[in-house]
Structure 1
Amino acid sequence: MATPLSSVWYTRCPAPTPLSIAHQLGWIDRQFRAAGVSVRSIRDSKDPAIRQSHFTHALDYSFRQGGNIPPIWARSGGRETRVVGITTTDEFQAIIALPSSGIRTGAGLKGRRLGVPRKPVEKIVDFQRATALKGIVSALSLEGLTHDDVELVYLDSAEANLIERGNAVFLGLKRRYPYGDELLALARGEIDAFFVKGAEGVVLANQIGAVVVSDFGFHPDAKIRINNGTPRPLTVDARFLDEHFDRVVDLVATVGQVAGWAETNPDDAVRLIANEIGVGEDAIWAANGPDIHRHLTLSLDDDQIEAFDHFKRFLLEWGFITADFDVFSWIDRRPLEAATRRAVA
């Protein structure tokens, strides 16, 4: 017998996702409120155990859209979740260096020191390290190189991944921005280059006058582009899906409406994305391209699923996940199909 649904949990990453936009527009709260269900934010909770579900997907009756490493890791660890939609929004991905390094192209990385952030983790995956390594591997592969052709310098941080908003250590900002450890190591001469991505990566590269030695976020080969942020899945826990299928269909239908809204409101869409990430709107246009508002669709295309399978194998090869699983059976098309039928009707 299904448990009566009085509330649901949600979380999203600071990234261009239709879930983030739907939340900021008030659509998510309104949709669930109409069914007598309240919506609670995982990231805004004062309970560290609840906040950790941003990575572990441990809470029942929860949904998430953002980077794909945590949900892949959680599924590999046995957490029963389902992917009910995928958004593919390409973004700036690059290896950068200082002009004084003499590195001008990806081929020039051979024999050089590349910084890789490493966080103290116990119960969650070090997604920043995995993201950096995938970017480095992709960049090197374009030059016929491998990670054995460079020196990977692991930059250990004493600070774990902090996800609570408004934490005092953020000096009044929403969150800690990435690449701090890499920037300090670069300034100290401990590394020669490192990986950046997204709007924050564009801002940082511009701020330090960096040389972009390899730029591959919009490369035609999807296997090069695939990383934590490309693509981004919308996941729900299996109990939520099994016991309250109609509410999951409501969720998918609501998030799915963002694509059409963004097409006709591009400036507003970019403003909301910038607000979510905490950067200027010009950084979004620069990092995601002039058609960012046309790439917020929620779908389940075969090439998107194959991208997940490819990235899962990378995470397995590098030891970020320890158990293999069938990505294709992780997908549940029923809510999206039902939402599509509803829209047509």
Structure 2
Amino acid sequence: MTQSVWYTRCPAPTPLSIAYQLGWVEQQFTQANVGVRSIRDSKDPAVRESHFTHALDFSFRQGGNIPPIWARSGGRQTRVVGITTTDEFQAIIALPGSGIAKGSDLKGRRIGVPRKPGERIDFQRATALKGIVSALTLEGLTHADVDLVFLDSSEASLAETGNAAFLGLKRRYPYGEELLALARGSIDAFFVKGAEGLVLANQIGAIVVSEFGFHPDPRIRVNNGTPRPLTVDATFLEQRPDLVADLVATISRVAAWAEANPHDAVRLIANEIGVGEDAVWAANGPDIHRHLALTLEPEQTLAFTHFKQFLLEWDFIPADFDVPGWIDTGPLEAAQRRDAA
């Protein structure tokens, strides 16, 4: 009998984050006499690493899609049981006076790319490169038309909670290396996304050279945060399909709740990310509260397939795999039948 399960989530707009902050997830498992433990809050580095590697049995995760794609590519038996597509601000930014005002001006210029040489899953580098490729594609350019400047950092992606270097905050915010490089004059532009990226662009009075987070072509806007899968390990699904179905049903309730309580939903998202509510509205759009559903639509599968291929071509994942075969519709269908009844 399962005594406890592990969960983890990214600082991003996800229905799992909202459901957990509302107490729904803990309540659901408590009713089943099962404890819920946080991977990210663990003092054991090996446990915290599962936020990226999905190594723990009886665990579930919703957040950026690069780590679960990497884990599945490497042979970890996981299943996608739901997907949330919440579009967000994605852009290439530069400083005023740089001579870069539009996407075509990037040709021949230096674009910064964060890189962590010691990381097994360098998701920040992959995210930035996909954004850069998308921006260049819109101008008929390729990465060969620009100078990619890799900015190395040795700081771990998931450090100890309470790290003194964070000055009392929960985590290090992104784009620090890029911002310093831009200030030094060693790069001309870099990629940002989401509420954090929008706040940074606002703070430095940046020129938005190319913005494509809401582009109609999903192949352009797909990235680490678009879309975000809810994944569980295969052992959890095989041994306790009832708990997984309950979990999917609980998280699925967020969509209707958010539509009825838009300001509360944005408040919880802002709390999760660590930004102001106005940044969430600006980065995710005025209908953010209408885009927190858990679904499994064909276009979402196609988006994952396209992004998986990008990660494979750029050597971010070790092997190819079948995306449709990674998806298990059973728990979501069970939740939908329950709602219909």
Q: Which range, TM-score by smaller chain?
A: over 0.9
Q: Is 1:32 aligned with 2:46? A: no
Q: Residue type matched to 1:134 in 2?
A: K
Q: How does 1:192-341 map to 2 (within 5 A)?
A: 192-341=188-337
Residues 104 and 212 in structure 1, CA contact (< 8 A), matched pair in contact too: yes
User: In 1, Cα distance between the equivalents of 2:122 and 2:272?
Assistant: 22
User: In 2, Cα distance between the equivalents of 1:41 and 1:99?
Assistant: 43
User: In 1, Cα distance between the equivalents of 2:63 and 2:266?
Assistant: 17
Q: How does 1:152-231 map to 2 (within 5 A)?
A: 152-231=148-227
* Ranges in structure 1 where 5+ consecutive residues have no aligned partner: none
TM-score by length of 2: 0.99
Corresponding residue number in structure 1 for 2:66: 69
Corresponding residue number in structure 2 for 1:15: 12
Residues 48 and 158 in structure 2, CA contact (< 8 A), matched pair in contact too: no
* Ranges in structure 2 where 5+ consecutive residues have no aligned partner: none
Residues 51 and 164 in structure 1, CA contact (< 8 A), matched pair in contact too: no
Map Cα deviations across residues 190-229 of structure 1 (whole Å, 9 max, x no partner). Answer: 0000000000000000000000000000000000000000
User: In 1, Cα distance between the equivalents of 2:255 and 2:202?
Assistant: 30
Residues 118 and 154 in structure 2, CA contact (< 8 A), matched pair in contact too: no
Residues 120 and 160 in structure 1, CA contact (< 8 A), matched pair in contact too: no
Number of residue pairs matched by the alignment: 341
Q: CA deviation at 1:107?
A: 0.2
User: In 2, Cα distance between the equivalents of 1:121 and 1:282?
Assistant: 36
User: In 1, Cα distance between the equivalents of 2:82 and 2:123?
Assistant: 21
Q: Residue type matched to 1:297 in 2?
A: A
Q: CA deviation at 1:163?
A: 4.4
Q: Is 1:105 aligned with 2:102? A: yes
Corresponding residue number in structure 2 for 1:91: 88
**Sequence identity (%):** 79
Q: Secondary structure at the match of 2:319?
A: coil
User: In 2, Cα distance between the equivalents of 1:245 and 1:168?
Assistant: 41
Q: CA deviation at 1:168?
A: 1.8
User: In 2, Cα distance between the equivalents of 1:295 and 1:164?
Assistant: 32
Q: CA-atom RMSD, angstroms?
A: 0.7
Corresponding residue number in structure 1 for 2:127: 131
Q: CA deviation at 1:159?
A: 1.2
Map Cα deviations across residues 219-268 of structure 1 (whole Å, 9 max, x no partner). Answer: 00000000000000000000000000000000000000000000000000
